[in-house]
Amino acid sequence: MKIQGVPNPGDGLRLHLNENTGGCSPRVIEAIRTLTPTDISAYPDYKKAVLTCAEYFQVNPEELLLTNGLDEGILMVALANFGRAYDPEQEAIIPVPAFDPYLTATAAVGAKVIRVPPGPNFAFPVDEVITAISAKTRLIFLNTPNNPTGQIIPHQIIRRVIDAAPQATVLVDEAYVEFANGSFLDELSQHSNVVLGRTFSKAYGMAGMRIGCLIAKPETIDPIRKVIPIFNMNVVAITAMQAAVKDQSFLPAYTAEVKESRQRLYEACRRLDLEYWESSANFVLVRVGKLAPKVVATLDTRGIHVRDRSQDPYSPGCIRITAGVLSHTDEAIKALEANVSSGLIETRGAL
């Protein structure tokens, strides 16, 4: 039976969706508990939330839109750029492997997807992306750090793509930037065809709240403002977001734990002779061989849920493991070791 959403894997460690499995800031829970019955029964007032979020990102409130998760923001950017008149000749460029909503948003507006494969070791294919740009290009998706590889796109490369496509909107998706070094936000004022996407789902531990935002110059964000639902955010979510950004100790502590978890995964992969890619996000892509689906199923039975990326032609034989809470990472490593010992995982020497 097909139902809405992603199947719940059941009990165990949720290391498959890049969530903060340690949970959100305690201040978020405290803030939610202050809501009254009439707060819930009334449509929310977004003004204070927008001002708080804009101050946090140090941008003008007119440059920011709150979205129901960054997924909604991606869809709204596509709708604003391609319009409601379906034109299959218009194109969106998507460097792959990529976050699935880029593909679904493009399909929703009836546009054509131009996939650009990665270079060796998932290097960003800047020359190929620029070559793919044409008069039909309306939207380019840039994900940095990339999901599922964790690779960043250097700012000078982002600038090259922006300059090569003045007729298109470039969506710079920074869902995982809190785990990396350097947001493109500092350069946003220099570009009129760029929309920056951010989310509170990952580092802030609020995936269940569905809170994201888009940031762009007013003339760039206004067309998106015209198509976004007027009451797209709920009062619980915007209350939670305001509390989250005021907790100045939560984010540094968690991002430090993520960095240590990544290092532990790297060390385990080297010890087990597994191919992996160093990541700037809160996950690590690991190649486990042609039996990857069976590896994922076996890990499931141990209560370790990871993401199977092996069916993607650009990441064959790979799984993606969330790197967050240290004790969870240690459990994942033990499970990997058991699978290597059983011969289910193919080491680099056996591939």
For domain 13-21+250-350, which architecture applies?
A: Alpha-Beta Complex (3.90)
Query: Where exactly does CATH 3.40.640.10 map onto the chain?
Result: 26-244
Query: Where exactly does CATH 3.90.1150.10 map onto the chain?
Result: 13-21+250-350
For domain 26-244, which architecture applies?
A: 3-Layer(aba) Sandwich (3.40)
CB 171 within 8 A of CB 140: yes
Mean pLDDT of 335-342: 92
Which amino acid is residue 246, in one-letter code?
K
Band of pLDDT at residue 89, cut at 50, 70 and 90: confident
CA separation for the pair 92, 89 (Å, rounded): 10
Share of the chain above pLDDT 70, in %: 98
pTM above 0.85, yes or no: yes
For 93-129, write each residue's pLDDT tens digit.
999 999 999 999 999 999 999 999 999 999 999 999 9
CB 310 within 8 A of CB 346: no
Band of pLDDT at residue 5, cut at 50, 70 and 90: confident
For 274-297, write each residue's pLDDT tens digit.
999 999 999 999 999 999 999 999
Between the CA of residue 124 and those of 24, 100, 135, 319, what are the distances in Å?
32, 18, 22, 20
